[in-house]
Amino acid sequence: MIDDTDRQIIAAMQGGLPLVPAPFAEIASRLEMDEGDLMARIAAMKASGVIRRIAAAPNHYKLGMTANGMTVWDVEDARVAELGAQVGALPFVTHCYERPRALPDWPYNLFAMVHGASGDEVEEKRAQIAALLGAACRGHDILYSTRILKKTGLRLKERN
Amino acid sequence: MTPLDATDRRLLNRMQEDLPLVAHPYAAVAEELGIGEDELLARLARMKEDRVITRFGPFFDAAAMGGAFCLCAMAVPKAEFDAVLTKVNAHAEVAHNYQRTHRLNMWFVLATETPDGIGACADAIERETGITVLRFPKLQEFFIGFRVAA
């Protein structure tokens, strides 16, 4: 679990890491901490999984990946673990999860995000997933995103 | 937007992987790529400015902090879409939100510091909008392939 100092570190970094030669020194100075202590805290949070990585979030649209399909599948419960792992391993699937159905509105329990340069490319990839799932899949759909309505990192509430 | 050149693409691919946790991390990556630190920082700043990179920094796992993530969906009538969007996005717990082609046309992720926070926030959105918030917490994660080949 994280303590108050970790919380302050997260708050200081959640807007992004400064693009300066010594970014951890800059964060440390904002927090009036020692740079080494800050880096040790970050290392501990990486080890515990609180920080997954420090990296860039690319904008798919700007990279020409303008078609983004959330493919959704109604897969037999008994086979979803095995088949989900196979779908998740496909190189063009960027996220793959089992989620609960919300009957009657939503019969699908496997979600696989597919990105491509065109709708045709995404459809072709969807067909590959359909072939892989075969008869274990009782229905499927694809939802295209038409607009990013919000995109921020995790925001911690101020609290003291 | 400045078109991406081959070095930008290499840099963007590399920066989707973890930054080394050292005092001068950008210099370390610049050395890997055979470019100067100043050049790397200038390229990153430009790609952020051009919104090719939406964010550069730590990716937090709310679950590892004792919190939770939940994908949610709503069927928002077209005429009310912008009004509902304003109400939904006003919640700091809404980490991202996409409009999608389906009767369920608004899909967003809630990220909260406690598991209870998900239900509380989704319930609040239902009260404020009068629209059911379907909740799709992950049961199993098969792969996080966060990389996009630039």
The complex scores an ipTM of 0.72
For position A156, what pLDDT does the model report? 53
> Is A103 touching B (CB cutoff 8 A)?
no
Considering only CB atoms, B100 lies closest to which of A20, A144, A150, namely A144
8 Å CB contact of A22 and B24: yes
Name the closest residue on chain A to residue B37, using Cα atoms.
Answer: A21
Instruction: With beta carbons under 8 A apart, name residues in chain A contacting B138.
Output: 97-99
pLDDT, greater one: A93 or A71: A71
For residue A153, the model assigns a pLDDT of 58
pLDDT at residue number A93: 87
Question: pLDDT tens-digit profile of B58-83?
Answer: 998 877 777 888 999 999 999 999 99
Residue B84's closest CA among B107, B68, B101, B102? B107
Which residue of B24, B37, B55, B135 to mutate against A (max A Cβ within 10 Å)? B55
Range A4-48: architecture per CATH: Orthogonal Bundle (1.10)
Count the alpha carbons within 13 Å of A138 in the hemisphere toward its beta carbon.
10
Is the pLDDT reported for residue A121 higher than 90?
yes
Burial pattern B112-132, b for ≥16 Cβ within 10 A else e, equals bbeeebbeebbeebeeebebb
What pLDDT score was predicted for residue A48? 92
Chain B residues lying within 8 Å of A58, measured CB to CB: 12, 16, 52-54, 148, 150
- The pLDDT of residue B143: 63
Inter-chain contacts counted by CB atoms under 8 A, chains A and B: 231
Give the contacts of A33 (CB within 8 A, at least 6 positions apart).
A5
pLDDT tens for residues B38-58?
999 999 999 999 999 999 999
Q: What is the CATH number of domain B63-136?
A: 3.30.70.3460
Indicate where chain B has its CATH 3.30.70.3460 domain(s): 63-136
Q: How confident is the model at residue A117 (pLDDT cuts 50, 70, 90)?
A: confident
Q: Which two tokens stand for residue B22?
A: 């050292």
Token pair of B50, please? 């051009």
Q: What is the pLDDT of residues A23-73, one digit of tens each?
A: 999 999 999 999 999 999 999 999 998 998 999 988 888 888 888 899 999
- In this structure, the strands spanning B94-100 and A137-151 are antiparallel
The CATH fold assigned to A67-144 is Alpha-Beta Plaits (3.30.70)
Which sequence spans correspond to the domains of chain A?
Answer: 4-48, 67-144
Answer whether B15's CB lies under 8 Å from A55's CB: yes
As a dihedral over the C-alpha atoms of residue B28, residue B31, residue B35, residue B40, rounded to 10 degrees, the angle is -10
Q: How far apart are CA A18 and CA B52, in angstroms?
A: 17
Q: Which two tokens stand for residue A7?
A: 């919380």
Asked if B57 lies within 8 A of A146 by C-beta distance, the reply is: no
Percent of chain B with pLDDT over 90: 76
Task: Confirm or reject contact between A156 and chain B (CB < 8 A).
Answer: yes
Minimal C-alpha gap between A66 and chain B (Å): 12
How many Cα neighbours within 13 Å face the side chain of B105? 15
Name beta bridge partners: A112: A71, A96
